[in-house]
Structure 1
Amino acid sequence: MISLHFPNAASFRPAQVSGAGPRNYQQPTEFFARKKCVSVCFAGISADSSPTQPGKPEIELEFIGPKPGNDGSYPVESAKAISGEKLLRDVMSDNKVELYATYGKLMNCGGGGSCGTCIVEIIDGKDLLNERTNTELKYLKKKPESWRLACQTIVGNKENSGKVVVQRIPQWKK
Structure 2
Amino acid sequence: MTRVVSLFLPSWSIDRHRRKAGDAAPPAEAPLVLIGRDGRRQVVLAADAAAQAAGVRVGMPATKVRVLVPGLVVHDHDARADAASLDRLALWVLQRYAPIVAADPPDGLVIDTTGADHLHGGEDAMLATNLSKKQQRGANYTVRPKRGMLEATFPRYFSNLRPKPIPSAALLAVTV
Q: TM-score, normalised by structure 2?
A: 0.22
Bigger relative contact order, structure 1 or 2, given CA contacts below 8 A and separation 6+?
A: 2
Q: TM-score, normalised by structure 1?
A: 0.23
| Structure richer in helix, relative to its length | 2
Rg (Cα) greater in structure: 1
